[in-house]
Amino acid sequence: MKVRTRLAPSPTGDPHVGTAYQALFGYVWAKVNGGEFVLRIEDTDQERSTEASEVAILDSLKWVGIEWDEGPDVGGPFGPYRQSDRLHIYREHIDLLIEKGHAYPCFCTKERLDSVRKKLIEEKAPNRGYDRKCRDIPPSEAAERIAAGEPYVVRMKIPLEGECLFQDLLRGEIRKDWASIDDQVIMKADGFPTYHLAVVVDDHLMEITHIIRGEEWINSVPKHVLLYQFFGWKPPLYCHLPLLRNPDKSKLSKRKNPTSINYYRKAGYLPEALLNYLGMMGWHMPDGSEKFSVQEMIESFDLNDISLGGPVFDRAKLRWLNGRYIREDYSVAELSETLQGWALNPEYISKVTEVVASRLETLSDWGYFTAMFFSDSVPVTEDLLAVKDMENGEVLELLQVTVWKLEKLHEWNSSTISTVLKEVAEQYEMKLKNLTSPLYGAICGSKIAPPLFDSMEVLGSDLCRTRISAAMDVLGGLSGKKLKKLEKKFRA
């Protein structure tokens, strides 16, 4: 049987380095076996999925050098490769499960679910899932209620007792009590399937042989193998990769580390270096060499050699590796060309020039004013971030709220940025000037700088957000506790 692996990102945000990590291992494993690598877009969350994100993900993966044999852009014999285009398939399968008595409509409201959950947590109950209220509604009654237009979801019937046992390629046998799993929703009220249903149906139909993904999914495997059982299908082989970590060992997150592939691109990392670095997270060349291409990786790779400790994504080492590529693989001519592709091209130069033009007295002033547009970080000092009559802690809060608000921006341009900053200033009842002041420091590394909003637009969201975070570190950073409190306040 031909080995087929897949990457199944959901288009709900920035392209994540963790996605590239899983893509690399999935891709390499397919190629080790002369098989195929499939890209499938998991956009079953109508609320959060955006086309912009999908485009960005495909674009980043291409940039980093991952290729797929089948996918939404290139098609293939198992399409469509976008889950929102496969709804009728899921619907059929859901109906089949209901028919066979493996799934049932559930009419519980969100409010009831919330209160049940809350109560269970208060009671410190070991299981905090759904109480299965609708599991035993007679099918005829359920049909009537549906006909009457009552909103409902569909849940799968998890066994009430016994144990689920499955194999993970790297971890061996994993077992989990069925009683610890609640009746998972497989179809939402909007008629879309949930991940659990869609992933199983698609992996089967697309003849995926190896599921290579993050460790975070281990706990949902029982639901999936049960679905395979319900359908009478043979489950694929599971291989859960360790999770990439922040320096504090928690799961890699943009709160603590730049996670967007776009950041690394904008900051001037080479795609082959980034991919190489990801390849040494949990795996190593047999001879111990640290610089290797994807092709070389394919020649020596074995899934079984992956080590399981969660590797910390170490930007310092990535930087070193990137430097090695530049030094060892690029002639001056090649480097010049690469720089042109990166930022030294007419498009970017003209954008940058537009921002600084009015400030130039000589052409050579250009270099002085635009250095910040060609850098990863800028030098920030505490006094650059100071705001009159404000303590560092307050500035920190301000910057954090600004970052959060900027993160939510769908469109990144001078005017949307300006709107956000005005909102923040208003919220804190302060002059806009007092908010932009530390931002000039954080973004430009100087009080003398081109207009902030325009500069931020040109610089792009990834670099801006990273620079603001770096500035916050200069101020000592927010403690976990404060951050939590602030987040609560921010959400409210």
Residues 127-186 that bind RNA (CB under 7 A): 127-130, 151, 153, 170-172, 174-177, 180, 182, 185
- Least separation in angstroms between residue 172's CB and RNA is 7
Spatial contact of 169 and 146, defined as CB atoms under 8 Å apart: no
Mark whether 254 is an active-site residue. Answer: yes
Query: What token pair was written down for 109?
Result: 């409201």
Active-site hit among 254, 266, 481, 484: 254
- Where are the alpha helices (H) located in 10-126, listed in sequence order? 17-32, 51-64, 87-99, 110-122
Q: How far apart are CA 404 and CA 409, in angstroms?
A: 9
| 60-64-70-71 Cα dihedral, nearest 10 degrees | -10
The Cα 79–Cα 72 span in angstroms is 8
Taking the complex as a whole, the smallest distance from the CB of residue 250 to RNA amounts, in Å, to: 4
List 3, 45, 207, 477, residue binding RNA (CB under 7 A): 45
Place of tokens 């996670």: 259
Judged by CB under 7 A, the stretch of 242-250, 337-345, 377-385, 462-470 that binds RNA is: 242-250
What is the smallest separation between the CB atom of 97 and RNA, expressed in angstroms? 16
With a CB cutoff of 8 Å and minimum separation 6, the contacts of 111 are: none
Question: What residues from 448 to 487 belong to the interface with RNA (CB under 7 A)?
Answer: none
**Residue 315 or residue 351: which is nearer to RNA going by CB?**
315
Q: Which of residues 7-36 bind RNA (CB under 7 A)?
A: 8-10, 12
CA distance readout (Å), 87 to 83, 229, 421, 428, 462 = 7, 21, 40, 46, 34
Stretch that binds RNA, among 84-92, 262-270, 319-327, 393-401 (CB under 7 A): 319-327
Which H or E run contains 142? helix 139-147
Minimum CB separation of residue 14 from RNA in Å reads 13
> How many binding residues for RNA (CB under 7 A)?
74
Binding residues among 194-213 for RNA as defined by CB under 7 A: 194-195, 199
- The residue among 8 and 380 lying less far from RNA, judged by its C-beta, is 8
Q: Which of 218, 298, 343, 470 binds RNA (CB under 7 A)?
A: 218
Between residues 319 and 482, which has the closer beta carbon with respect to RNA? 319
Q: Where are the alpha helices (DSSP H) in 193-314?
A: 195-205, 221-231, 261-266, 271-279, 294-300
Give the residue with the Cβ less far from RNA, 102 or 223: 223
259 near RNA, judged by CB under 7 A: no
Q: Taking contact as CB under 7 A, which single stretch among the options 59-67, 193-201, 227-235, 449-457 is the one that binds RNA?
A: 193-201
Cβ distance to RNA smaller for residue 89 or 108:
108
* Contacting RNA within 104-123 (CB under 7 A): 108-110, 113, 117
Please answer whether residues 106 and 154 qualify as being in contact, where contact means their C-beta atoms are separated by less than 8 angstroms: yes
Looking at the Cβ atoms of 332 and 448, the one nearer to RNA is 332
215-223, 263-271, 330-338, 351-359 -> range binding RNA (CB under 7 A): 215-223
d(CA 199, CA 489): 36
Helices (H), 148-213: 195-205
CB of 371 to RNA, least distance (A): 17
Minimum distance, C-beta of residue 196 to RNA, in the bound complex (Å): 7
CB 459 within 8 A of CB 376: no
Options 134-142, 241-249, 350-358, 411-419: segment touching RNA (CB under 7 A): 241-249
Q: Which residues contact 299 (CB under 8 A, 6 or more apart)?
A: none
- Chosen residue from 311, 441, 445, 450 binding RNA by CB under 7 A: 311
Nearest to 151 by CA among 111, 92, 201: 111
Binding mask 266-305 for RNA (x = CB under 7 A): --------------xxxxx---x-x--------------x
Nearer of residues 194 and 469 to RNA, judged by Cβ: 194
Q: How far apart are CA 156 and CA 76, in angstroms?
A: 31
What residues have CB less than 8 Å from 91, skipping those under 6 apart? 187, 191
The residue written with tokens 């599971």 in the block is 238
- Cβ 170 to RNA shortest distance, Å: 7
Q: Quick one: which of 443, 370, 437 has its CA closest to 403?
A: 443
User: Closer CB to RNA, residue 309 or residue 341?
Assistant: 309
The residues annotated with a catalytic role in the active site are: 254
